[in-house]
Amino acid sequence: MRVVIADDAVLIREGVAHLLTENGVEVVDQVGDADALLTSVRDLNPDVALIDIRMPPSHTDEGLRAAREIRSRYPETAVLVLSQHLEPAYALRLVAERPEGVGYLMKEHVGRVQQLLDAVQRVAAGECVVDRALVDELLARRRRVDPISELTPREREILALMAEGRSNQGICRTLWLSPKTVETHIRGAFAKLGIKEASEDNRRVLAVLTYLRR
């Protein structure tokens, strides 16, 4: 296993290199910026490139852009991106294009030797490795942006009937519910969907649109 490490923080570079070397991984180069990384990958053809997202000169997404270029120009080199911060947008951009031989790992987990080694070995074998913290964050975001999932089965059922154009009276006849019960479910659905006070017709339209988008 031959690895190139790219990180502008010398201590992190040396620390990761030490951990890998102690566990039988050959570190063929250590660099501090994206240009040097691309040159190293071109000349040394490593199995894996470990890349920090933020590197000189702007310390924004130089590492990510270099990772994408490596995947395009040198597909035989797997890429494992290391990030100090949880950045789902960056991770998704990297993984979505081609999920084989790529990974995203939080730097706080680099000290866990077995987790780092496992990630390096798996991306080298062509797998996709995503930090559990990223998965948890994406699931949380999904829950936050999907208010329909917060509705009860009965509220979803009533909303579906509203989408068909049924009036409250029609919903009562279809579901064999009292008008008061239907109104209670509708108010609950409005509250969960974040639909504020307005005319009844407008609220029904907004609720239906939210349901149809889902």
Neighbours of 17 (CB within 10 A): 18
Instruction: Choose the final residue of a domain: 87, 116, 142.
Output: 142
Joined together, the tokens standing for residue 32 give: 């501090």
Q: Are residues 132 and 157 in the same domain?
A: no
Over residues 93-130, the pLDDT tens digits come to 777 777 789 888 888 877 678 889 999 998 999 988 88
Q: How confident is the model at residue 207 (pLDDT cuts 50, 70, 90)?
A: confident
Q: Are residues 69 and 165 in the same domain?
A: no
Instruction: Choose the final residue of a domain: 142, 166, 192.
Output: 142
Domain that holds residue 106: 2-142
Q: Are residues 172 and 84 in the same domain?
A: no
Q: Which of 98, 48, 36 is nearest to 77 (CA)?
A: 48
Q: Are residues 135 and 152 in the same domain?
A: no
Q: Are residues 106 and 175 in the same domain?
A: no
Over residues 30-89, the pLDDT tens digits come to 999 999 999 999 999 999 999 998 888 888 889 989 999 999 999 999 999 988 877 777
Q: What is the pLDDT of residue 144?
A: 58
Q: Are residues 93 and 163 in the same domain?
A: no
Q: Are residues 106 and 203 in the same domain?
A: no
Does residue 61 sit in helix, strand or coil? coil
54 within 8 A of 63, measured Cβ to Cβ: yes
Give CA–CA dist 87/111, Å, rounded.
20
Q: What is the pLDDT of residue 134?
A: 72
> How many structural domains are present in the chain?
2
Q: Which helix or strand (DSSP H or E) is residue 190 part of?
A: helix 179-192
Q: What is the pLDDT of residue 166?
A: 79
Q: What CATH number has the domain bearing residue 175? A: 1.10.10.10
Residue whose entry in the numeric block shows the structure tokens 């290199």:
17
- 145 vs 42, higher pLDDT: 42
Give CA–CA dist 184/182, Å, rounded.
5
Q: Are residues 135 and 192 in the same domain?
A: no
Instruction: Choose the final residue of a domain: 142, 176, 203.
Output: 142
Q: Are residues 197 and 119 in the same domain?
A: no
Peptide bond into 179 cis (omega under 30): no
**Angle, in degrees to the nearest 10, between helices 200-213 and 179-192:** 60
**Angle, in degrees to the nearest 10, between helices 34-44 and 62-73:** 20
| Buried-exposed string 97-110: b where 16+ CB fall within 10 A, e elsewhere | eeeebbbbbbbeeb
Whether the per-residue pLDDT at 199 is higher than 70: the answer is no
Give CA–CA dist 26/20, Å, rounded.
7
Q: What is the pLDDT of residue 8?
A: 92
Q: Are residues 154 and 114 in the same domain?
A: no
Give CA–CA dist 130/114, Å, rounded.
15
Whether the per-residue pLDDT at 203 is higher than 90: the answer is no
Q: Are residues 66 and 79 in the same domain?
A: yes
Q: Are residues 67 and 137 in the same domain?
A: yes
Q: What is the pLDDT of residue 85?
A: 76
Q: What is the pLDDT of residue 192?
A: 82
